[in-house]
């Protein structure tokens, strides 16, 4: 079972303005590969607030490929994978909005939200932001760099699997009352947790 953490950064407040993607592959309880790609948004409008968050400017992406070409590189990896993102509602809205912008169909996959998992597994944490989880796990990283965010998301998911004694990250939902999200060519279903 393939499990891949994913993180997007956006150029502005529009969800379809992805300017960077990071992916981290989880195999046999460890991160085995991390990739980052810059993306040239169709609309090259970068907001000052977004630049302040991730540091990516228009000149950094002017020669980068657009979203379809970037994601096509990972098509075979993603197909049939369990994807995971920290605050998956955001990352999957970026993915869907970008696919919609280019009139492309959605890939077929299952996904998990490591933020929802952390809230369930570590309820005593004052915050479940990725940087604070990284601090708890003793991980140093550059927050809002897509590759580093994906790698920390993956590392946190691996640690959460150990905490709940799951044999793999994709087995966590059944142990914590989580319903994985689904993306299909026809539909989108959010990742949810049972109350209580």
Q: Mean pLDDT by 10-residue block, N- to C-terminus, for the chain (196 residues)?
A: 95 98 96 98 97 97 98 94 96 96 94 97 94 91 92 97 96 97 89 84
* CATH number of the domain bearing residue 102: 3.30.420.10
**Is residue 194 included in any domain, yes or no?**
no
Q: How many residues does the chain have?
A: 196
**Is residue 158 included in any domain, yes or no?**
yes
The residue among 164, 41, 62 whose CA lies nearest residue 112 is 164
Tokens coding 176:
């914590």
The pLDDT assigned to 140 comes to 83
The pLDDT assigned to 196 comes to 60
**Is residue 119 included in any domain, yes or no?**
yes
The pLDDT assigned to 73 comes to 97
The pLDDT assigned to 82 comes to 96
User: Alpha-carbon distance 178 to 173, whole Å?
Assistant: 4
**Is residue 196 included in any domain, yes or no?**
no
The pLDDT assigned to 1 comes to 78
**Is residue 130 included in any domain, yes or no?**
yes
Total domains in the chain come to 1
44, 88, 55, 36: CA torsion to nearest 10: -90
Which domain, by its residues, includes 167? 3-189
**Is residue 172 included in any domain, yes or no?**
yes
Residues 100, 15: contact at Cβ < 8 Å? no
The pLDDT assigned to 80 comes to 85
**Is residue 100 included in any domain, yes or no?**
yes
């Amino acid at each position: 079972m393939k499990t891949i953490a994913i993180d997007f950064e956006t150029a502005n407040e529009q969800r379809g303005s992805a300017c960077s993607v990071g992916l981290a592959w989880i195999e046999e309880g460890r991160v085995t590969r991390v990739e980052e790609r810059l993306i040239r948004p169709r609309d090259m409008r970068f907001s000052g607030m977004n630049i302040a968050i991730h540091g990516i400017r228009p000149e950094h992406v002017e020669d980068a490929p657009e979203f379809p070409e970037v994601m096509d590189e990972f098509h075979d990896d993603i197909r049939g994978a369990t994807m995971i993102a920290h605050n998956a509602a955001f990352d999957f809205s970026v993915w869907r909005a970008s696919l919609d912008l280019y009139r492309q169909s959605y890939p077929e996959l299952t996904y998990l939200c490591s933020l929802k998992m952390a809230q369930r597994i570590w309820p005593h944490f004052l915050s479940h932001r990725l940087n604070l989880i990284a601090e708890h796990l003793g991980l140093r990283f550059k927050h809002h760099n897509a590759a580093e965010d994906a790698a920390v998301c993956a590392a946190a998911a691996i640690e959460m699997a150990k905490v709940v004694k799951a044999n793999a990250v994709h087995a966590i939902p059944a142990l914590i009352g989580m319903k994985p999200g689904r993306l299909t060519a026809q539909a989108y279903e959010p990742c949810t947790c049972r109350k209580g």
